[in-house]
Structure 1
């Protein structure tokens, strides 16, 4: 009798389990996509700032200034210029134009053992007071040495070195303080520093 009760109980459990299990339901329909929102309105463009004031033009640099290397001159020869006997030689200056002769500044320097000197240069070489000066013409600079007494001559040694600096008339000669510069009264180092020229 207990066996039948047990079997009957198991059958009830099995029937109950089978009746409680069910198939999965059908898949639902996907929902409709939402409508995209409207793009926002662009903001107004800002007002352009005022243009800045142009800076003052800088001083003319050494780009317009012409200068030679240190060069030597040929052997001097006797010559009389404007009634004064002396010795002369010349150096070539291809950049020396008629315009520079008329409007610019021509600086000539002499160099020997004791330093660099601006022409005209006066000394007592040869036992008499004498001066070496530069006489400029287109493309050429003549170096002329004459005695102050007008007697005798003093040679221009080939061991001397020469250099010229040509400043066109359009190059500003102001210090920035309203003062005009006289390059002929400036020393060689001052002129080189002013125009950024290597000595």
Structure 2
């Protein structure tokens, strides 16, 4: 029985190969072009990104009862519409790395976080110490970049929801929007 199955399998493969030969039929003819489709939903063609920027010297500030150091970078394209419906990504570069904000580290031998607070045409960079004791500076040697993704059509289902860009690496975001890192 096993031999019969093997012979049948070989015969099936041979027939398939012969019947699929490109020499036993005439070439097909391309059909007429179809109708033009409907215009698609708004895409990401209008993504805005900055060059790498330096920020002014940070100053002490208290935000929502939390003391820290802050500075701001200009983002002239940051509109009310983007604030309301878009996505704002901010990155910090130092040493050999690029980091997404918020960024938590142990600089100054204490846990601290650098976050970005977006407002019309500006992005405030704020660093606070988790323990609330003291501050850690925001050196002017750090570089900053923002990527603004205008809002589009609201997603109807989870299948069409926009990606969570904050969970993507800087390199993945740059690749997705064809941005030179």
Q: Distance in 1 between matches of 2:44 and 2:81?
A: 18
Judged with a 3 Å threshold, the aligned counterparts in structure 2 of structure 1 residues 183 and 172 are, in CA distance, closer, same or farther, namely farther
1:124-150 residue CA offsets vs partner (Å, 9 max, x unmatched) = 000100000000100000000000001
Structure-2 residue corresponding to 1:98: 80
Q: Superposed, which structure 2 residues align to 1:143-154 within 5 Å? A: 143-154=125-136
Q: Superposed, which structure 2 residues align to 1:6-45 within 5 Å? A: none
Stretch moving more, 178-187 or 115-124: 178-187
Cα RMSD of the aligned pairs, angstroms, is: 2.4
Q: Distance in 2 between matches of 1:79 and 1:191?
A: 31
Q: Superposed, which structure 2 residues align to 1:94-173 within 5 Å? A: 94-170=76-152
Q: Distance in 2 between matches of 1:172 and 1:109?
A: 26
Stretch moving more, 60-69 or 150-159: 60-69
1:153-184 residue CA offsets vs partner (Å, 9 max, x unmatched) = 000000000000000001788xxx64641111
Q: Distance in 2 between matches of 1:132 and 1:117?
A: 10
Q: Any conservation in 2 of the 1:145–1:155 contact (CA below 8 Å)?
A: yes
Q: Any conservation in 2 of the 1:117–1:188 contact (CA below 8 Å)?
A: yes
Structure 1, unaligned runs of 5 or more: 1-48
Q: Distance in 2 between matches of 1:68 and 1:105?
A: 14
Q: Distance in 2 between matches of 1:179 and 1:170?
A: 11
Q: Distance in 2 between matches of 1:89 and 1:63?
A: 30
Q: Any conservation in 2 of the 1:87–1:155 contact (CA below 8 Å)?
A: yes
3-state SS of the aligned residue for 2:137? coil
For these two proteins, the number of residue pairs brought into alignment is: 149
Q: 4+ residue runs of structure 1 moved beyond 6 angstroms?
A: none
TM-score w.r.t. structure 2 length? 0.75
Structure-2 residue corresponding to 1:181: 163
Larger C-alpha radius of gyration, 1 or 2? 1
How far does residue 117 in structure 1 lie from its aligned partner after superposition?
Answer: 0.2
TM-score w.r.t. structure 1 length? 0.68
Structure 2, unaligned runs of 5 or more: 1-30
Judged with a 3 Å threshold, the aligned counterparts in structure 2 of structure 1 residues 74 and 185 are, in CA distance, closer, same or farther, namely same
Q: Distance in 2 between matches of 1:152 and 1:127?
A: 11
